[in-house]
Structure 1
């Protein structure tokens, strides 16, 4: 859907913002561009909608060289979300959301109906919020309106520049969850710029880690965290990258163990037993053993599963299989968490240093959990 071919942006003072970038983004992929301030990630994104023109190289959108496309027509095909949202203060939420369809000539009633659908999709009841003005909304609500407005013309590509950076951490996490839910429904091709590695890891199908105008590594979150391509990337993702991998590794059936099972018959509570899993007549955990929440499903991140596991008293967390009607699949233990991380550890080609990141450029750094 998006392709960069040897793209460079050099300014008149000699500053090179990006240098010889070549990469591709598949349709429906969510790519996060992460790196320190001034590394070129926002410049990269703005070259997609021609807010910045490359000095050299070409950018393609759905096979078309965007240099040959009228910039206004191009931008109306691309959703754009920025940190400060940029809503029109004199327009209602509904009219803000309907802005692009109006510009494209969509009849007013049809554009407002589309806007109402999108407000509902991002979790804002149009009957409650549609007639409000931006100043009457919280920061998180304004950001939702910004996302809805960017989607109003059903663009194939969405560009997001630090979209959740202006809100507090609790609201940011909620917005990230909502955006992931939304993306699972609309499946847009997304470039999202962030300086927050945790956000990049949580949201991205793949991550582009920027150095100074170049991409040091472009891979899945698990690979970036588990096998940094260069010492620079290893330093950027930090020494706690093994902990960060908890948020990108999910619970698999192979990670589970067996445990004692008790049956609960009707309204009769089975007698308590340390570590036992109490199942109902349909083989679903009931949570009657007093150790905390009943279970988590397969596919839960290790981070979320470990949080639930640590709230219990037995060191065993029942896990269910959604594909089997939520029936009991086994238990996750701390040893299972470790096995899951080992299972998901990327195995880089070539030798690795037993003492951590190798000195040679381009050699993947070793994750301590991968040591045998």
Structure 2
């Protein structure tokens, strides 16, 4: 969708902002450009919509050399979201969002209808927010309007220049979550500029880590964190890159332990006998449809009448996640519920439990797998018990 071929931007004073840049962004891919201030990432992005003209090389958009396309026509094919947002203060939220469709010649009623759809899509009820003015919105709400406006003409490409950089960390994380939700359904081709490696890791299908005017590494977040290509990349992503990997390492079925499983209507005596045979102090409890109900402790059953059922002694289980959720979310859930393990589900089906020990192993396997270019399942870990 977007292809750079030996692109250079050199200014009249001799400053080289971008030096011999070549890379591709596939259709529907979200690529984050990350690096320190002045490294060339914003220049790279602005050359795509010809806000800055390259001094060498060529840029292609969906096969077209953008140098041969009228700049105004080109920009109509590209959504653009910036940190400052740039909403018109004298227009309502609905009219701000309808600006681009209206400029493209759509009737006002149709443009406003499209704007209302997009406001709803970004989590702003048009019946509540549509008639408000930008000054009546919070920073996070204004950013949502900026995203909605960029999507109004349904462009295949989005350019986003630190769009969430001006809001506080809590709002920023919420905006990132909402944008990922949008991207999962819209599948836009996105270039996203940020100076924050954690944001780049969380959002990007691939990350371009910039040095001075050039890309030092262009790869998946897991690979950049697990196998930095150069000392510069290793220093930039930080000594805590192992922790950052938690955000991009999913829970897999091979990471799970299989505890004893009981059902709500199992007799206490039989349940206790089964747990004793397994040497288990607790068991997962499922309902009649094999859905997760909770857990039960052997001590609690040991004090119960043997002709009773597990149902009277089972505790509800709130600490659970779907398979494929990131390890960071698993770790956070453990801390939130002060839990020594969390249940992992596939839909409603119970798959197993993830413990802190298995979480650590999953992280180690992921790092080793990326470094050796093999699957996590093929990694054999050594522990102190193997010595």
Kept in 2, the 8 Å contact 1:4–1:60? The answer is yes
Instruction: State the distance in 2 between where 1:188 and 1:89 align.
Output: 28
Aligned to 2:287: 280
Q: For residue 276 of structure 1, report the CA deviation from its aligned partner.
A: 1.9
Partner of 1:276: helix, strand, or coil?
strand
Contiguous gaps of at least 5 residues in structure 2 = 297-314, 374-379
Q: For residue 141 of structure 1, report the CA deviation from its aligned partner.
A: 0.5
Instruction: State the distance in 2 between where 1:87 and 1:120 align.
Output: 18
Instruction: State the distance in 1 between where 2:366 and 2:156 align.
Output: 32
Q: For residue 288 of structure 1, report the CA deviation from its aligned partner.
A: 4.8
Aligned to 2:355: 333
Kept in 1, the 8 Å contact 2:246–2:326? The answer is yes
Q: For residue 17 of structure 1, report the CA deviation from its aligned partner.
A: 0.3
**TM-score, normalised relative to structure 1:** 0.89
Instruction: State the distance in 2 between where 1:151 and 1:90 align.
Output: 21
Kept in 2, the 8 Å contact 1:33–1:210? The answer is yes
Partner of 1:112: helix, strand, or coil?
helix
Aligned to 2:340: 315
Q: For residue 291 of structure 1, report the CA deviation from its aligned partner.
A: 8.0
Shift of the 124–314 alpha-carbon distance from structure 1 to 2, 3 Å rule, reads closer
Shift of the 315–3 alpha-carbon distance from structure 1 to 2, 3 Å rule, reads same
Matches within 5 A, 1:181-196: 181-196=181-196
Q: For residue 250 of structure 1, report the CA deviation from its aligned partner.
A: 0.6
Kept in 2, the 8 Å contact 1:286–1:294? The answer is no
Partner of 2:59: helix, strand, or coil?
strand
Instruction: State the distance in 1 between where 2:206 and 2:135 align.
Output: 36
Q: For residue 338 of structure 1, report the CA deviation from its aligned partner.
A: 2.3
Matches within 5 A, 1:93-108: 93-108=93-108
Aligned pair partner of 1:302 in 323, 327, 330: 327
Matches within 5 A, 1:215-226: 215-226=215-226
Q: For residue 265 of structure 1, report the CA deviation from its aligned partner.
A: 2.7
Q: For residue 370 of structure 1, report the CA deviation from its aligned partner.
A: 8.6
Kept in 1, the 8 Å contact 2:258–2:352? The answer is yes
Shift of the 24–282 alpha-carbon distance from structure 1 to 2, 3 Å rule, reads same
Larger Rg: 2
Instruction: State the distance in 2 between where 1:80 and 1:67 align.
Output: 19
Aligned to 1:164: 164
Q: For residue 60 of structure 1, report the CA deviation from its aligned partner.
A: 0.4
Kept in 2, the 8 Å contact 1:66–1:74? The answer is yes
Aligned to 1:243: 243
Contiguous gaps of at least 5 residues in structure 1 = 351-368
Shift of the 314–31 alpha-carbon distance from structure 1 to 2, 3 Å rule, reads closer
Kept in 1, the 8 Å contact 2:81–2:163? The answer is yes
Kept in 2, the 8 Å contact 1:102–1:111? The answer is yes
Matches within 5 A, 1:137-156: 137-156=137-156
Instruction: State the distance in 2 between where 1:349 and 1:119 align.
Output: 45
Aligned to 1:353: none
Partner of 2:294: helix, strand, or coil?
coil
Kept in 2, the 8 Å contact 1:29–1:189? The answer is yes
Aligned to 1:136: 136
Q: For residue 22 of structure 1, report the CA deviation from its aligned partner.
A: 0.1
Instruction: State the distance in 1 between where 2:372 and 2:328 align.
Output: 28
Following TM superposition, the consecutive aligned residue runs of length 4 or more in structure 1 with deviations greater than 3 angstroms are: 270-275, 288-292, 310-314, 346-350, 369-372
Aligned to 2:63: 63
Instruction: State the distance in 1 between where 2:101 and 2:358 align.
Output: 51
Q: For residue 336 of structure 1, report the CA deviation from its aligned partner.
A: 1.6
Partner of 2:167: helix, strand, or coil?
coil
Q: For residue 307 of structure 1, report the CA deviation from its aligned partner.
A: 1.8
Q: For residue 294 of structure 1, report the CA deviation from its aligned partner.
A: 4.3
Aligned to 2:21: 21
Larger relative helix fraction = 2
Instruction: State the distance in 2 between where 1:133 and 1:297 align.
Output: 40
Aligned to 1:50: 50
Shift of the 313–276 alpha-carbon distance from structure 1 to 2, 3 Å rule, reads farther
Aligned to 2:300: none
**TM-score, normalised relative to structure 2:** 0.86
Aligned to 2:318: 293
